[in-house]
Amino acid sequence: MSQCLNPECLSPNPDNSQFCQKCGNKLLLVERYWAKSILGQGGFGRTFLAVDEFKPSKPLCVIKQFLPQAQGTENVEKAAELFAQEAERLELLGKHSQIPELFAKFTVDNRQYLVQEFIKGETLQQELDNHGVFNEVQIQELLIDLLSILQFVHSHNVIHRDIKPENIIRREADKKLVLVDFGAAKVISKVQHRTVTGTVIGSAEYCAPEQSMGKAKSGSDLYSLGVTCLHLLTQMSPFNLYDVMEMEWVWRDCLNGNFVSDELGKVLDGLVEQKLKQRYHKVEEVLAELWFGNYSISQTQKIKKTSNKSSSSNPKKSHIYRLAPQSQTSVCPTQKKSKSPQKTVSNNVKKSHIYRLASQSQTSVSPTQKNPKPSQYSPSNDVPLVSVRRVNYKKLRNLLAARKWKEADQETKRCMLKVARREKENYLTE
């Protein structure tokens, strides 16, 4: 079937039709693209699944038609400006393998169109609806994957401003996460003016407080990412995970038995901190916390293979290992609300807590404490240091314990590249 692109018609037509049988509108855009079906509609336009007739394989692509819902001349002009800017952002950022590539931008019949790469797969919201809540391992892998994308985006002084489960697709081909819909993205000035207020944009449930007032920062994307994680862990609306009377997050009370360690909990609290100054400011701060925090895979906690072929034929990676954080205390969903430990992730978050590696002592280090003496972190052979992505940190731990700082820096780089799966490139950002 061929979909009519006339907003007043949108009638389906038989294949190979040149014109809409109902309204007479031409179906082939710029003699190259034709729409198969409607994918969705947002505040700025309607998206269609389409076919590129110019290429021999006739690959699928996505046509985005500018169709603002805003009322009033000023609002429509602003929407048109944002739509045009989306093309510029995609042309710049689409070079990243986990951001859709821009193929074309043109105007037909006074309507603007973008044509971009089609990403086949499920959104994280669809995954949540179809398979249930995410576990801790899945959330940690999600964070590492998306943070590497945001690191690239922010390095170009761009903020996405609309991170949510619906805008994150797990690509079917390689299972990697792809960040889509840059219609709300914005280039931020290196010189920030305190008096300038921008356009209020984004999805309310995932929007940071400062962004809701038109003052989005790079930390606003981190906030939205954190709220996305809370939604995936609980399958509840973010509005129901925040107590407006007590002015605190209560997501731990909504886990319903879904285990989240204290270490990951602190990272999530740092991402969704209401006060911008007490929140993570940069992607690198969160990555450092994830890479060098107390996340170790216990070799004794591998789930035993069963003889049931149906359960072992296609096991999910997230079910092969269980995280073994220092604290095994779970939160009872029925207990009274407790004060969130988010305040421990304050301005001291930049210290990265490199010294919080597993040791013979099971005492965790508070982010507000001074770095402990190196002798306290002597290597322990009975504590495995293999991460979710099977990166072995034993050598790094031993180098830190021996105070061989130069060698430790080199080993740190190697571990970071392996976690980000960029060993061949030998750098983290493009």
The pLDDT assigned to 382 comes to 47
Q: Which of 52, 145, 162, 221 is catalytic?
A: 162
Residues of the chain with CATH 3.30.200.20: 2-117
Residue 257 has pLDDT above 60, yes or no: yes
Model confidence band, residue 388 (pLDDT cutoffs 50, 70, 90): low
Q: Under CATH, domain 121-305+317-368 is a member of which superfamily?
A: Transferase(Phosphotransferase) domain 1 (1.10.510.10)
Q: Token digits for 293?
A: 């925090």
* Mean predicted confidence (pLDDT) in 152-171: 95
Residues of the chain with CATH 1.10.510.10: 121-305+317-368
CA distance 171 to 178: 7
The pLDDT assigned to 30 comes to 94
Buried b (16+ CB within 10 A) or exposed e, 265-300: bbbbbbbbbeebebbbbbbbbbbbbbbbbbbbbeee
* Mean predicted confidence (pLDDT) in 127-146: 96
Q: Token digits for 281?
A: 């400011």
pLDDT digits (tens, 9 = 90+) for 187-216: 886 545 444 444 556 689 999 999 999 889
Please name which of 74, 66, 76 lies closest in space to residue 110, comparing C-alpha atoms. 66
Whole-model pTM: value is 0.67
**2-117 belongs to CATH 3.30.420.60:** no
The share of the chain scoring above pLDDT 90, in percent, equals 50
* Mean predicted confidence (pLDDT) in 58-75: 78
Model confidence band, residue 33 (pLDDT cutoffs 50, 70, 90): very high
Known catalytic residue at 181? no
